[in-house]
Amino acid sequence: MPENATKPEARGQARREQVLTAAAVLFGERGFHGSSMGELARRAGMSVGHIYHYFENKDAIIEALVDREMAQRPGALAGLSQPAGDEQSVVAQLENEVRRVLERERLALWLEILAEAARNPQIAAKLHAADDVASERLTAAVSARLPGLSRRAAAERAGAVAALFQGLIVRSVYQPGLDRAAVVRATRDALRKLLETPTPEGGK
């Protein structure tokens, strides 16, 4: 394919990212329903009509935000698939993911997405599908790391890891002034325990 044939596609992708970056901030600040397309267009530096060229409506934008977030997850999980024995580097990767989850801008956006999913079946379906994919990847990574576990046991550990991260989002609402460094330390200890090779008595 000629190089110049990919330029329109690359420009289109860049424009989509421009919209999504602006939307992530705006939706986090004002909520999904409190954000107008006019304000989004202003922040994205383009016209409303231009945005509609890339996204059918606001639902499509929030669905794309879910896709973008999930696409970033594999990097955080990459080290999990390494054989047990190097917990330090794996836990360090997951610590970085904890810090990423606790970023205020990301927290606000995810709370808005979750609230919208509770009342919008289309957004809920997108979120459930994305979570199914993420859960499968996480289970596979745990299985590769701890091959002695049954599939069921690996899925249970994967679910515990996911619940740990998802719970951080809710906890940040109850305690907005929480000590993030302390949370990272405590989460690190919990993750290390979840990634341990089970004893014969505890294995399945």
DSSP of 96-148: HHHHHHT-HHHHHHHHHHHHHHHH-HHHHHHHHHHHHHHHHHHHHHHHHH-TT
Pair of tokens at residue 10: 């690359």
Q: For domain 1-55, which architecture applies?
A: Orthogonal Bundle (1.10)
- Please tell me the predicted confidence (pLDDT) of residue 199: 56
Pick the closest to residue 66 from 6, 129, 158 (CA basis). 129
Higher pLDDT, 94 or 201: 94
CA distance 150 to 143: 8
- The tens digit of pLDDT for each residue in 5-63 reads 478 788 889 999 999 999 999 998 999 999 999 999 999 999 999 999 999 999 999 99
Band of pLDDT at residue 204, cut at 50, 70 and 90: very low
- Please tell me the predicted confidence (pLDDT) of residue 203: 44
Helix (DSSP H) and strand (DSSP E) numbers for the chain: 9, 0
Band of pLDDT at residue 202, cut at 50, 70 and 90: very low
Give the per-residue SS3 of 151-186.
HHHHHHHHHHHHHHHHHHHHHHHHCCCCCHHHHHHH
CATH 1.10.357.10 domain locations along the chain: 59-194
Class of domain 59-194: mainly alpha
pLDDT at 129 over 70: yes
pLDDT at 4 over 70: no
Pick the closest to residue 167 from 92, 107, 94, 95 (CA basis). 107
Pick the closest to residue 197 from 101, 110, 85 (CA basis). 85
DSSP secondary structure, 10-53, as one string: HHHHHHHHHHHHHHHHHHHHH-STT--HHHHHHHHTS-HHHHHH
CA distance 90 to 174: 29
- The tens digit of pLDDT for each residue in 69-121 reads 877 665 555 566 665 556 666 667 777 777 777 887 788 888 888 889 999 99
pLDDT at 185 over 80: yes
- Please tell me the predicted confidence (pLDDT) of residue 201: 45
Higher pLDDT, 177 or 21: 21
Higher pLDDT, 21 or 175: 21
What's the sign of the alpha-carbon dihedral 27, 180, 101, 133? Answer: negative
